[in-house]
Amino acid sequence: MSELLASLGLEPVVNAVGPATRLGSSTPGPHVLAAMAEAAGAFVRMHELQAAAGAEIAAICGAEAGYVTNGAAGGLMLAAAACIAGDDPALMDRLPDASGARDEIVIHRGQRIAYDHALRAAGARLVEIGFHDLTFPRELDAAIGERTAAVAYLSNSGANAIPLEQVVAIAHRRGVPVILDASLAVPPVANLRRFAALGVDLVAVSGGKWIGGPAASGFLYGRADLIRSVALQHQDQDVRMETWHGAPLVAEGIVPGPPHQGIGRALKVGKEEIAGLLAALRAWVARDHDADRARWTADCETVVAALDGIDGVRAEVLPADGRERGWPVAEIALDERALGRTAYDVVRELAAGTPSIALDEALAWRGLLRVTPTQLQAGEAEVVATSLAASLRQREAAAAIDTEDRKDWTA
Ligand SMILES: *Cc1c(COP(=O)(O)O)cnc(C)c1O
């Protein structure tokens, strides 16, 4: 990679942000790359590959069915399309025009995030419930009606949302499926089966984040009929009735015939991504996650130790907790006034350095920086620690020079 980057005039970045798409997501291991290379060398009927991969995903997650998508965002868009169109090929052909159909997706106002564009892109209209900090179960019940296609839920959105268990219970009582964005909920690996056991109808997971699959991979799992709708709207439908592999669906009266290329056709998943995602998922569920957490914690401690005793800086390791965040982070609180610089200044300075370091700036507006250790390569925690310490000691260094200058001048 370094050679390729150099030929383009680029340098690799030290990623202290985590599996951010804008930095390239993850560094898939040799087992993933080998699976992708193998898939690249043969043709296969893609619906059969998806069915086989989906069956294994379902077994891993304890669900009825599974499906490989291009990222969790692609999965969310397909999930919305499935909940809107069901088994109706005419409606599949029409999306994202869902006018007159069940096209509403109910969502907590406090769970609105930029990724819900994926739901809207399928043709859904979002119906918000609650306020940023408080939502009552009765509001969910009241928002569900004739036009409701699904309830969307974001995992790990804090204590101010209706608990997922209760959302599932209310939605199911009204005959409406629940779509869960679980991108931030794995690790821990146990959550995969927990969500299936809770009866969530479609769960979207990112393959390119903590699982270490190809950046453009992810998966859905859940109810078999909804996954069937996903497949019909996602797979290539340049097919003829006479030879279509979906003939049994016609015979059983589930669909009157194939849809045309659906809304998901623009979210193509190659055989290489399917193979890579599956290899990554197999290895990830069998991985020693305690060892990962121990290494990540040590990396966080390296950063915190380097910042010890710097005026205006307070750093600590926030340990992984089982449910809200499955990995530790080093959190660095800046007294911006004492330091004479903001957290954003520090982010910009480290980005401009050599090597270029990317820090988590999500809380920089509050003067907080975070180092997420999950994507750091060997030796990079030291690089981040040294660069951060140098950047944050500038005020001390400047003050020292200042005093020395004055001493010289008065002497
Ligand atoms: C990253 C992310 C997604 C999208 O995942 P991709 O695999 O990159 O498509 C969706 N939702 C949340 C909350 C995310 O953090």
Distance 24 CA to ligand 1 centre (A): 13
**pLDDT tens by residue, 93-105:** 999 999 999 999 9
Q: Which two tokens stand for residue 306?
A: 């380097």
pLDDT mean over 367-372: 97
Q: Cα 38 vs. chain centroid, distance in angstroms?
A: 26
CA angle 372, 374, 376 (to 5 degrees): 90
In this structure, are strands 125-129 and 104-108 parallel, antiparallel, or unpaired?
A: parallel
Q: Judging by DSSP bridges, how do beta strands 202-206 and 218-222 pair with one another?
A: antiparallel
Three-state DSSP class for residue 216? coil
Average pLDDT, the chain: 94
Residue pair 221/67 in contact (Cβ under 8 Å)? The answer is: yes
Q: Please, are residues 382 and 302 in contact by the beta-carbon 8 Å criterion?
A: yes
Query: Residue 148: which H helix or E strand, with range?
Result: strand 148-154
Give the residue, out of 21, 22, 324, with the most ligand 1 atoms within 8 A of its beta carbon, to mutate for a pocket test: 21
Return the structure tokens found at 316.
């600590």
Rounded mean pLDDT of 366-383?
A: 97
Q: Which pLDDT value is given to residue 156?
A: 77
Q: Which helix (H) or strand (E) holds 405?
A: helix 394-410
More confident residue, 404 or 381: 381
* Residue whose pair of structure tokens reads 């990830």 in the numeric block: 284
pLDDT at position 395 is 73
**How many other β-carbons are positioned within 10 Å of the β-carbon of residue 394?**
15
Tell me what pLDDT residue 410 has. Answer: 47
- Asked if pLDDT for residue 408 goes beyond 70, the answer is no
Q: Please identify, by atom number, the ligand 1 atom nearest to the C-alpha of residue 118.
A: 10
Nearest CA to ligand 1 atom 7: 71
Distance from the CA of 75 to the center of ligand 1, in angstroms? 9
pLDDT tens per residue across span 281-295? 999 999 999 999 999
Residue-level pLDDT at 184: 87
d(CA 342, CA 348) in angstroms, rounded, equals 10
Contacts of 84 (CB under 8 A, 6+ apart): 91, 95, 98, 101, 102, 103, 122, 123, 124, 149, 150
Q: Which domains does the chain have, with CATH numbers?
A: 43-285 (3.40.640.10), 288-401 (3.90.1150.180)
Residue 313, amino acid: V
What letter would DSSP give residue 350?
Answer: H
Task: Give residue 73 CA to ligand 1 midpoint distance, Å.
Answer: 6
Distance of CA 345 to the CA centre of its chain: 27
Pairing of the two strands 329-334 and 368-371: antiparallel
Q: Which residues line ligand 1 (CB under 6 A)?
A: 21, 71-73, 113, 115, 181, 183-184, 206, 208, 218
For residue 158, pLDDT beyond 90: no
Q: Which atom of ligand 1 is nearest the CA belonging to 19? A: 1
Q: How far apart are the CA of 214 and the centre of ligand 1, in A? A: 13
Residue 157 confidence (pLDDT) above 80: no
Compute, in angstroms, the gap from residue 209 CA to the centroid of ligand 1.
8
Ligand 1 centre to CA of 154 (Å) is 11
pLDDT given for residue 411 in this prediction: 42
- Mean pLDDT across the stretch 324-352? 94
Residue 409's pLDDT is 47
- At residue 326, the pLDDT reads 84
Share of the chain above pLDDT 90, in %: 90
Whose tokens are 């940023």? That residue is 132
Could you give the percent of the chain with pLDDT greater than 70?
95
Q: Does 184 or 251 have the greater pLDDT score?
A: 251
Rounded to the nearest angstrom, the distance between the alpha carbon of 256 and the centre of ligand 1 is 35
Going by CA atoms, what residue is nearest to atom 14 of ligand 1?
Answer: 183
Confidence (pLDDT) at 322? 63
Please report which confidence band the pLDDT of residue 72 belongs to, taking 50, 70 and 90 as the band edges.
very high
Q: Identify which of 26, 107, 115 to mutate to test ligand 1's pocket (most ligand atoms within 8 A of the CB).
A: 115
- Beta-ladder partners of 202: 179, 222
Global pTM reads: 0.94
Tokens standing for residue 107: 């969502």
Q: For residue 37, how far is its CA from the centre of ligand 1 (angstroms)?
A: 25
The DSSP annotation for 351-376 comes to: HHSSS-EEEB-TTGGGTEEEE-GGGP
Of ligand 1's atoms, which has the minimum distance to the CA of residue 205? 7
Q: What is the pLDDT of residues 236-284, one digit of tens each?
A: 999 999 999 999 999 999 999 999 999 999 999 999 999 999 999 999 9
Q: Once rounded to an integer, what is the mean pLDDT over residues 343-349?
A: 97
Residue owning the nearest CA to atom 1 of ligand 1: 183
Does the pLDDT of residue 405 top 80, yes or no? no
Torsions phi, psi of 121, nearest 5? -65, -25
CA–centroid distance, residue 71 to ligand 1 (Å): 7
Q: Give the pLDDT mean for 205-217.
A: 96
Counting atoms of ligand 1 from 1, which one is nearest the CA of 76?
A: 10
Contact predicate 162/31, CB 8 Å: no
Average pLDDT on 73-87 reads 98
Q: Is the pLDDT score of 1 beyond 90? A: no
DSSP 325: B
In this prediction, residue 404 has a pLDDT band, given cuts at 50, 70 and 90, of low
Looking at residue 397, the DSSP 8-state letter turns out to be H
Sheet holding 104-108, edge to edge: 65-69, 218-222, 202-206, 178-181, 148-154, 104-108, 125-129
Cα→Cα distances 118→167, 263, 309, 394, Å: 21, 12, 45, 43
pLDDT in tens, 122-154: 999 999 999 988 999 999 999 999 999 999 999
| pLDDT score recorded for residue 160 | 83
